Amino acid sequence: MTAQISQAEGARLLKLATNASVTVAVILIAAKGVAYWQTSSMSILASLVDSLMDSGASLLNLFAVRYALVPADRQHRFGHGKAESIAALAQSTFIIGSGLFLMFEAARRLVDPAPLQAHGLGLAVMVFTIAATAGLLVLQGHVIRRTNSAAIRADALHYRTDLLTNSGVIVALLLAQYGWPGMDPLFAIAAGVYILWSARGIMRDAFNELLDRELPDEQRARILAIAEGHPEVRGVHDLRTRSSGRIDFIEMHLELDGAMSLFRSHTISDEVEAAIMAAIPAADVVIHQDPAGIVETQQDEQLQ
């Protein structure tokens, strides 16, 4: 569960993560560019393409997160959180294009092989890449736990796949050095397939949020349990949920004793709202009060 933090602290962490991601991506692009120039390795090219993709995604995140942090205004009453999902959707497009390009280049190298050079430099660059990526993932993991940012989650997925990809590059370079040069383009093709597969998950999550998909069933059940757990709540209906960036929007109707005062029903709604927000930090909760039995009455009228 995401820890409750202030808006200022959340903004600081998101900016820190996006700035760090851009910085690491630029450094790795420079290092891998030199390594590919010296080695002509397709597996290093695979890693370079991945880093180029990461840098584009990270720059996109940098602007998207800053926009998503803008408070709600008169034209955007629900805030700007979906900018993160738009960024994640764009990232998936970058990923697909990069994966297809990589597979094409690797297939071309299989048909027209070329010897690898400067194995030592290539290995050194990939070891440095793994260390830098691991450090960035530690920072991103901390930010995700505190903010639950969709854009940072998508960015972290890139770098987690990088760890596997870069480890494979080292294996491919070692095999090429010891007489297995065909493993280099074959690994690049495998990396391209994996990159395309990872794009599927990012695109699905982004579409779900942009299309206002309901929160997961277990989270909805938790919300219902909290609302129904209040001793004066007779029932709950018309629960509607969706997510926008770091905010979960929750709407519901509470069934209360029809004879109680408006003041008391409002107090009960406030208590239920506070309980939900204690369990789901940064939630935006809207509650409508109905007299108990109203749903059954409406259903009977529809049958007549």
Q: What is the mean pLDDT of residues 270-285?
A: 89
CA nearest neighbour of 166 among 136, 139, 144: 136
296 or 89, which is more confident?
89
Q: What is the mean pLDDT of residues 86-93?
A: 77
DSSP state, residue 148:
-
Q: What is the mean pLDDT of residues 44-60?
A: 72
Q: What is the CA radius of gyration of the chain?
A: 25
Inform me whether the pLDDT recorded for 270 exceeds 70: yes
CATH topology of domain 7-210: Alpha-lytic protease prodomain-like (1.20.1510)
Q: What is the mean pLDDT of the chain?
A: 78
Specify the range with the lowest mean pLDDT, choosing from 58-62, 169-173, 278-282.
58-62
pTM summary value = 0.56
CATH topology of domain 217-303: Alpha-Beta Plaits (3.30.70)
Confidence of residue 124 (pLDDT cuts 50, 70, 90): confident
Tens digit of each residue's pLDDT (9 = 90 or more) over 201-212 = 778 878 877 887
Residues 6+ apart with CB under 8 A from 92: 154, 199, 200, 202, 203, 206
Inform me whether the pLDDT recorded for 113 exceeds 70: no
Cβ atoms of 137 and 160 within 8 Å: the answer is yes
Structure tokens at 156: 């972290």
Inform me whether the pLDDT recorded for 228 exceeds 90: yes
Map out the domains of the chain as residue ranges. 7-210, 217-303
Q: Rounded distance, CA 46 to CA 125, Å?
A: 14
Q: What is the mean pLDDT of residues 50-57?
A: 71
pLDDT score for 271: 95
Strand 235-244, strand 247-256: pairing: antiparallel
3-state DSSP of 47-83: HHHHHHHHHHHHHHHHHHHHHHCCCCCCCCCCCCCCH
pLDDT score for 233: 92
Confidence of residue 8 (pLDDT cuts 50, 70, 90): confident
